Amino acid sequence: MRVPTKVMAVCVAAAVLAGGCSTQLEDIPLPGGADLGDNPYEVKVQFEDALNLVPQAAVRVNDVPVGRVKGVSLPEGAWDAEVTLIVNGDVRLPANATANLEQSSLLGEKYVELAAPATPSAQPLADGATIPLARTSRNADVEEVFGALSLLLSGGGLPQIRTINRELNQALGGREETVRSALRNLSRLTGTLNQNRKSITDALDGLNRLSSTVRSREGQVATVLDDLSPGLKVLEEQRGQLVQMLRELEKLSDTAVKVINESKDDTVANLRSLAVILDKLADSGRDLPKSLEVLLTFPFTDEALKAVKGDYLNGYLTVVAAEGFNCVAPPVEEEGPFDYIDDEEEAQRRAMAAQAEEPPPGPRPEPCPDPTRTGQGADAPTSTAPTPQQGGPQVPSGEPGSGVPGSGVPVIPGEDPLLPLPTLGEGD
């Protein structure tokens, strides 16, 4: 029974050793590592330099371990290291998360720090996502710090510092008051700038708006510059003429100065003589403007302008007849309105119809006096007019055509008496 038991133990040990040979040491998780949970996700990060970062290194968020480094590799044809991370599935990061390669202490291990940016994305960091090189960084290594310090302490920069110190002593020696005054002026300058920081900010904002406007009109500015080039070429071609013109202008200015200097006394004398005329014009006061008002309408006053309407002149005439001469001679007898009718009966019929119409309303003019009744008084009866058989028209007393006693106006024999002239009003 013992032999088979030993054989069995050896077989089991061999199987265990055979199975263990296929597992690499780096795949064995370190004790005390981060808990990955049941559903971890994988993220790839690109670093410019991943020196001393090894697999199984910690992955932290806010200094709390949330995962580990699965592997560090250099992709084919690339110059940047690619680090594969495994993060706990319960940790949620934005899609634009950043990664920084840090060191736990001066001589501690390196780890990857994941963080959310100032403006996180609404989308979460998904499984298989890649954080590009633009969102990764790293801290300075201890070796780099010691290397720079050793370069400084070994004389790399100390001679330069010594030279700078010596030159400063020589420059400032004996000029302490000047340096203090310069520092005071610099302090006042900074104080003035601090007081006017709002104006400076407004000026910078205005400059920013101006640059934005110029940028928005880039096409127009380009057109102006393109069109300006031919003009500059023409100016370059005419450079000799422009220089000659400036030289001639200089000669002209010299001549003008010479003329002014030589005629200075005469100019002063003329101005003094002109002062007398100006004094007389000032003494005239308001008389000169008023006299100029009738210059265009002489010999009439400027009131005549009110009568001018375009290309004609309005005239206003008032006529008043003297007493005893307020009658006008009757107009030359013309053909009646019905004389053109050949039929005598039709003409008489229309004439009788016209006489039967009512006279127009309004006052009727008084008849002119009859000279045959002169001296008989105003109340004398009117003379009997000749009958139609005697060849004269019959005019009743008091109607137009009869005489008015006492007027002294002659009556032409064989014609109608004169009618009175109505008095005309002003402007009629």
- Residue where the block lists tokens 């005549």: 304
User: Once rounded to an integer, what is the mean pLDDT over residues 7-15?
Assistant: 53
- Alpha-carbon torsion 231, 233, 238, 240, what sign? positive
Cis amide linkage into residue 299, ω under 30° from 0:
yes
For residues 46 and 35, the answer to whether their CB atoms sit within 8 Å is: no
Identify which has the larger pLDDT, 416 or 105.
105
pLDDT band at 409 (very low <50, low <70, confident <90, very high): very low
Most confident residue range from 152-156, 213-217, 320-324: 213-217
**pLDDT (tens digit per residue) in 380-401:** 444 444 444 444 444 444 444 4
Instruction: Extract the tokens encoding 269.
Output: 């004398």
Give the integer Cα–Cα distance in Å for 264 and 271: 11
Angle, in degrees to the nearest 10, between helices 239-262 and 264-284: 70
pLDDT of residue 327: 66
Q: pTM, whole model, 2 decimals?
A: 0.34
Cβ-based neighbours of 42, under 8 Å, separated by 6 or more = 70, 84, 85, 86, 87, 127, 128
**pLDDT (tens digit per residue) in 81-101:** 999 999 999 999 999 999 999
Among 75-84, 136-145, 179-188, name the one with the lowest average pLDDT.
Answer: 136-145
User: Once rounded to an integer, what is the mean pLDDT over residues 342-357?
Assistant: 68
Give the integer Cα–Cα distance in Å for 321 and 374: 21
- Alpha-carbon torsion 141, 146, 148, 149, what sign? positive
The dihedrals phi and psi of 252, each to the nearest 5 degrees, come to: -60, -40
- The closest alpha carbon to 131, from 152, 115, 108, 144, belongs to 115
User: Once rounded to an integer, what is the mean pLDDT over residues 47-60?
Assistant: 90
Instruction: Extract the tokens encoding 418.
Output: 């004169």
For residues 82 and 94, the answer to whether their CB atoms sit within 8 Å is: no
HSE-CB of 74 using CA atoms within 13 angstroms: 9
Most confident residue range from 175-179, 205-209, 391-395: 205-209
pLDDT of residue 209: 93
Give the integer Cα–Cα distance in Å for 382 and 252: 105
- The closest alpha carbon to 407, from 418, 422, 415, belongs to 418
pLDDT band at 243 (very low <50, low <70, confident <90, very high): very high
Burial (CB < 10 A; 0-12, 13-18, 19+), residue 136, is buried
pLDDT of residue 354: 64
pLDDT of residue 382: 45
Give the integer Cα–Cα distance in Å for 314 and 332: 30
**pLDDT (tens digit per residue) in 264-299:** 999 999 999 999 888 888 888 777 777 777 777 777
Identify which has the larger pLDDT, 8 or 320.
320
